[in-house]
Amino acid sequence: MTQFQDYSDRKRSMITTLDTPLYPDYLDEAKIVFEPVIKKFGELLEESTDSVNLYKTILTQPTKVRVQLLRVFRRYVFMGESVEATKIISASNEIIRHHGAKFRPLEQVREKFYQRPTDDETLVAVLQEQANRGQKGYNLTQIFFEWFENQFSGTFTLVGPRGAGADIDLKRMLSGFSERAPTDFVICSLQNEVLAVGYARYDSDRGGTQEYDRTGGNQDKITIVERYNRETASHIKLIFLNDGPGLALGSMWRYYASMEQGRPHVLVVTLKMLEERLTAEWLNS
């Protein structure tokens, strides 16, 4: 069976580049979506008594609006926490306790906000690009699901969200599995035996320390599944479906190749490798 490293001399031809709207082509559409968000932020800004009060008020908004408002809040008021962290209502008191003093004062926020036009194209573009950041990963998963179901219809089942959606909790899929390991997809036999767990990532642009973060996280996933296999005499495999131009940057390709070395139960593939490498023989081995 071929190895991921065997494709090194033609790695760029093995990568799929998913289309993305170019700047400024997406601005008209983005304005429709985000101008109301910026307007709403301005209304809450006017009503608030201080920056902490503004944050608390944003948290009272409906979920989808709240997340978008927090993206604006993060750029005008405080960049020290991710939107994912700040949107959790139960964590708000802790965030305020640790970071509230670092929030930009409300009068300064108003000053900066009112200096910008109501249809702030710069902010709209930033918000649009962030909103689309995970879309290619969803597209990658969708393509994989379609390929898998065409290839293995009536042979295996594939479980997981095709696009945006909650990751699979392996505790629900594996008896006696106790560790936290959110998973993008799971391949099962027709008898519902778990054969492989998988992770899909599209890297538009990646390098430097991010490479180590990504591969380090992948190593943790391998360690967890290998431990479960030893403790339960199981033979669950791991699939890392990665694609995008960032995969060819720096030492990223070599890191992924090293993940397979000495591990026949680990498979790293791009979309263009699936036909040759992700086979029924490997899944059943």
Mean pLDDT throughout 160-180?
87
Confidence category of residue 77, pLDDT binned at 50, 70, 90: very high
179 and 225 housed in the same domain = yes
273 pLDDT above the threshold of 80? yes
CB 156 within 8 A of CB 187: yes
- Residue 216: what pLDDT? 63
- What is the rounded CA–CA span in Å between residue 41 and residue 25? 25
The reply to whether 75 and 178 lie within a common domain is no
140 in the same domain as 265: yes
Helix (H) or strand (E) holding 242: strand 237-243
Residues 149 and 213 in one domain: yes
Mean local confidence (pLDDT), 116-126: 93
Q: Residues 24-53: what's their mean pLDDT?
A: 95
Which pLDDT does position 147 carry in this prediction?
97
Peptide bond into 62 cis (omega under 30): no
Class of residue 236 by CB neighbours under 10 A (exposed 0-12, middle 13-18, buried 19+): buried
Considering the domain architecture, whether residues 160 and 234 belong to the same structural domain is answered as yes
| pLDDT at residue 194 is higher than 60 | yes
pLDDT of residue 17: 87
pLDDT at 272: 97
Half-sphere exposure of 27 (CA within 13 A, CB side): 9
Last residue of a domain, one of 109, 131, 153: 131
Both 164 and 256 in one domain: the answer is yes
Q: What is the pTM of this model?
A: 0.78
CATH number at residue 211: 3.40.580
- 277: in domain: yes
Structural domain contains residue 72: yes
Q: CA-to-CA distance for 84 and 234, rounded, in angstroms?
A: 35
In a shared domain, residues 237 and 142: yes
pLDDT at 112: 97
Residue 56 pLDDT more than 70?
yes
Q: Which domain holds residue 242?
A: 4-17+134-284
pLDDT of residue 206: 58
At residue 250, the pLDDT reads 63
104 and 237 in a single domain? The answer is no
Give the phi and the psi of residue 169 in degrees, each rounded to 5.
-90, 115
Average confidence (pLDDT) over 202-220: 65
- Shared-domain flag, residues 97 and 197: no
What does the alpha-carbon distance between residue 142 and residue 140 come to, in Å, rounded to a whole number?
A: 5
Answer whether residue 233 shows pLDDT above 60: yes
Q: Which pLDDT score, from 0 to 100, does residue 221 have?
A: 93
- Give me the pLDDT at residue 93, please: 96
Whether residue 237 is contained in a domain is answered as yes
* pLDDT tier, 131 (very low <50, low <70, confident <90, very high otherwise): confident
In the predicted model, is pLDDT for residue 87 greater than 50?
yes
Query: What's at 172, amino acid-wise?
Result: R
Structural domain total, the chain = 2
Asked if the model's pLDDT at residue 135 lies above 70, the reply is: yes
Share of the chain above pLDDT 90, in %: 73
- What does the mean pLDDT of the chain come to? 91
- Are 158 and 274 spatial neighbours (Cβ–Cβ below 8 Å)? no
Which of the residue ranges 161-170, 231-240, 258-267 would you say has the lowest mean pLDDT?
161-170
For residue 154, is it within any domain?
Answer: yes
156 and 263 fall within a common domain: yes
CA dihedral (123, 126, 127, 129) in degrees, to 10, reads 160
Query: Do 242 and 270 belong to one domain?
Result: yes
84 and 173 inside one domain: no
Domain stop point among 131, 163, 180: 131
Question: 270 in a domain, yes or no?
Answer: yes
Q: Is 80 exceeded by the pLDDT of residue 134?
A: no
Q: Is the pLDDT of residue 208 over 70?
A: no
The answer to whether residue 22 is domain-embedded is no
The answer to whether position 170 is within a domain reads yes
Q: Is residue 182 part of a domain?
A: yes
Least confidently predicted of 41-55, 103-117, 209-223, 269-283? 209-223
Of 131, 166, 181, the residue that ends a domain is 131
